Amino acid sequence: MTKEPNKISVGVVGAGVIGRRVVGAVRLQPDMALAGVADVAADWRIAMLAKDGVRLFAAISQASQTLPESGLDVAGSLEDLIAASDVIVDCTPKGIGAQNANIYRRAGKPFIVQGGEKHDVAGHSFVAEATYGSAFGRDATRVVSCNTTSIVRTLGALKRAGLLKKARGTLMRRATDPWESHLGGIMNTLVPEPTIPSHQGPDARHVDPELDVVTIAIKVPETLAHLHSWYVELTRPATKEEVLDAFAASPRILLIDEDSGLSALNSVKEAMAMEGRPNADLYEVALWSNILAVDGTELCYNYMVDNQAIVIPETIDAIRALASSEEQPEVSMRLTNKTLGIGADELRL
């Protein structure tokens, strides 16, 4: 495969919920080209990617047989995809990315793993607004989980405005992804995570060690998205308008208003569908401005996290950072936002 000149060649390993969205986002970038996708499966998702012109590679030797048996062409092995790529994005299930990291390192290729892996796998954790600069030119980074991404974005916005002292959050986590909800997931109950604090707070400090943040989490019987409720102690008394201005300064925080009818997770997802977003994806943190309350130095607010989509723009920015193709984080983020429709005026709902 011949690499396109002046474009970052990106290989994606794993074509599940995150992987296929990374594929779509990479193909929208004017400075990137998709080298292909490696996977072990030969199901309808892989077939649809092939139908859309995506080159398929066998992630393991067995897949070099099962893919052709399902009528799918195989362009080569995982090693072939790595050789054809400038950056590898590993979107495999938890634990597999950590194993694959050894392969990428032996090949000398920069790689990205997802938030299911531990920080130590890459030695660096990524949210564009916080750690783009320290990721520039590295051999690896980890795009943190959906919930951790939302925490760093929102608390980071308050921190940049000089308002953040400490934060305590309760996370209501969806039970499973929609596409596999027929396979399992809790019903008619709520399940608290077995440890307090939950892992998201400490994980956020892998990105920004200065954050004073504690989280607890509860698994709930729905599949649309996560819902966060936060109590924040501010550094000084502030007005609601000051806080909203701090959040509005980040294009990856979408301020929404319950009075417009966007009063629940399902209505926000429907709005994304009506906007023509692929898969009705919400790349931003959707934060309810009308039910945000400030009382002196105390702040309370709620927001929605689309766990299938929020890490996609971060992944695109991480590709540019590892490839050393754009040194300025704001330039990369602006291009990513434009191609994905983030921060458009018509979406400031």
What is the set of active-site residues? 146
Distance, in Å, from the CA atom of 328 to the CA atom of 133, rounded to the nearest integer, reads: 8
Pair 297, 234: CB distance under 8 Å: yes
> If you write DSSP's letter for every residue of 151-208 in order, what string do you get?
HHHHHHHHHHTT-EEEEEEEEEEESS-GGGTTT----S--EE-SSSS-THHHHHHHH-
Buried b (16+ CB within 10 A) or exposed e, 271-284: bbeeeebbbbbbbb
Cβ–Cβ < 8 Å for 255, 248:
yes
d(CA 99, CA 296): 49
Q: What angle do CA 112, 117, 119 make, to 5 degrees?
A: 80
C-alpha to C-alpha distances, 257 to 263, 286, 287, nearest whole angstrom: 7, 10, 8
User: Taking the alpha carbons of 162, 168, 172, 177 in that order, is the dihedral positive or negative?
Assistant: positive
Cβ contact 4:31 at 8 Å? no
